[in-house]
Structure 1
Amino acid sequence: MKKIYFLCTGNSCRSQMAEGYAKSILSPDIFEIESAGIETHGLNPNAVKVMAEDGVDISSHYSKLIDLRYFNTSDLVITLCGDAKDKCPMLPPQTKSLHWPLSDPAQATGTLEEQLEVFRKVRDEIKKLIIDLNDHFH
């Protein structure tokens, strides 16, 4: 079983979307998947909405702080923002890491529809990265 950990600043948008896609795309027989933040900002309703548009339900997710036991036994840690990369604890020697520098959709301004467009763009980038990750493991 390979453990993947998605880390972001507040575990409200990007890491939650990555966890949702990873759980729907990667084999549960091979991968254990979690996400967390350096802080907890609550689950962003726009993230839930745009994921549902693509058939992935993350409405039961919640914002979690880094669990050091899970972190220290992870095979792969993926940071989704510079803040998480900078503040990430020291990785154990067996752990690989990736950094996906995605913009923060929660910072989007404008009308609700304009904000949702930013969320959709980030969602689609994350989905592509998860598909590429899946291809890498096969």
Structure 2
Amino acid sequence: MKYFTIQELCASDTARKKGIDNTAPGDVKVRLSTLVEKVLDPLRERYGKPIRVNSGYRCPILNKAVGGKPTSQHLRGEAADITGGTVEENRKLLALLSDMEFDQLIDESNLTWIHVSYRAGNNRRQFLKL
């Protein structure tokens, strides 16, 4: 893990404000490490600039508090919502990600941020726009 940390992927303003313990259990830490190793660090290398993680792991209480789906990959440590800071930069990130291995890429709110997920074994390479 060169550019990202487990702590960064578990950080949440909502969790802090609501007093929610969003500490990742061991199996989730393993999946977060895989997400970083397979997607986030290689993306950062290609992009050449910092990437901000808006949301990574979410415990069930936090996921409910932010309106996440009960099947969200954030619950398993397989997803991160990321941004380069602007729609233009997010467009660049999306283009770089499209050539990489991923499970889902979701253009959220006209590239306000990008949801990217990775799961070991069987990635669907789905692209969605919400």
TM-score for the superposition, normalised by structure 2: 0.27
Report which structure shows greater RCO (CA 8 Å, sep ≥6).
1
